[in-house]
Structure 1
Amino acid sequence: VNSEKLDRFRLQASIPVSGAAIGEIHEVIASTVGEANPNWAIKESSWKALKSLPGGKDQSVYHDYSTFETARALLKHKLVLGSVIVDAVLFFRGDLAHAGEKYDGLNIRLHCYVQIAGVDQEQNATEAVVFQTFRCDKCLKPAYTRKKLAAHRRTCSERGLLKCPYQGSTLAYDVRNSFNSTLDVSTRSMGTSLL
């Protein structure tokens, strides 16, 4: 795993499939995966034990296989199916963007890499995923565009209404572009330009 994804609260170890318990788990999971899609395969070397300790921080969003490898699979197979089967076991493709969460208690789980047969993929490697998101610095509400963040900031209950810092004005920025209008009036009255 990319060393930036692990910290002192997240530990990992490879698990050989030589023991009876993990061998049986491997057979059941590999069979289930093969039934879901005959092109999917699990190697015996792909099993890891993950241990998350209480504390730490949420991880950044990442995926286990790089987009380059996924793109190659798409070019070769024309279609790469995506599915999530949720039960006691969670199956998802390695290019699904996900992030580890901090835990309040000890969490131990098994992790394995499901690969597409015939496509070489490096196991246990991660790639950062960048979504352009914005977050209010007061209430932490997310927004997916700067425009939506600006609209939220004008009415954020944690922040209160923003006040105009120019000429002692008490106008709130509750109207779009009111700041630009204030600047236009201010600079015209002074006969100068801020640019």
Structure 2
Amino acid sequence: MTENVHQQAYNISNEKRAQQKQQKPIMIWLTGLSGSGKSTIANQLDVCLNEKGYHTFCLDGDNIRKGINNNLGFSEEDRNENLRRVAEIGKLMLDAGLICIGAFISPMKKDRELVKQIIGEDDFFEIFVDTPLNTCEERDVKGLYAKARSGEIKNFTGIDAPYEVPKEPNLVIKTEELTVQEAVLTIVKIIENRIKR
């Protein structure tokens, strides 16, 4: 199917696009259980970096599933494809010179490794948002854990589907120990040397 598809060469290089924005593109990937605080931290990180003059974009699991991935369910195959597409979108954003922030449960190690492979290891910064299951359930702002416990939702991560804790993430954020603002400042302090030109 792809034998008649040929890569188009662009006149403007990825390096030139990044130079124009005076930053080094990177994918900041937040992984953790539903309700762990990934999206909240990602959004505030986006705001913080934007206020510092960086060119950013935030990709969120729910938003992606309402748009480009609205034809995917939650089977293992669909979850794999969801993250593969997200990685390809993220790669395009890095090619455009942007700092991309992704907030995705991404429960399986193999899927996170695929994302890292597509993005490129040097441009991938993995953050494990470490929040205990009981705390995530207490928050349950979307009511998803209650539905999973009652059987309304099947294959829900942390209830009847596994979450493989990252063994060597670039950073661990424990939301029971840090406020959102403290978490964001911690991330910025660590990544700013990597994104400055």
Question: Aligning the two structures, in what range does the TM-score lie when normalised by the shorter sequence?
Answer: under 0.3
TM, length-normalised to structure 1: 0.23
TM, length-normalised to structure 2: 0.22
Higher strand share: 1
Ranked by relative contact order (alpha carbons within 8 Å, sequence separation 6 or more), the top structure is 2
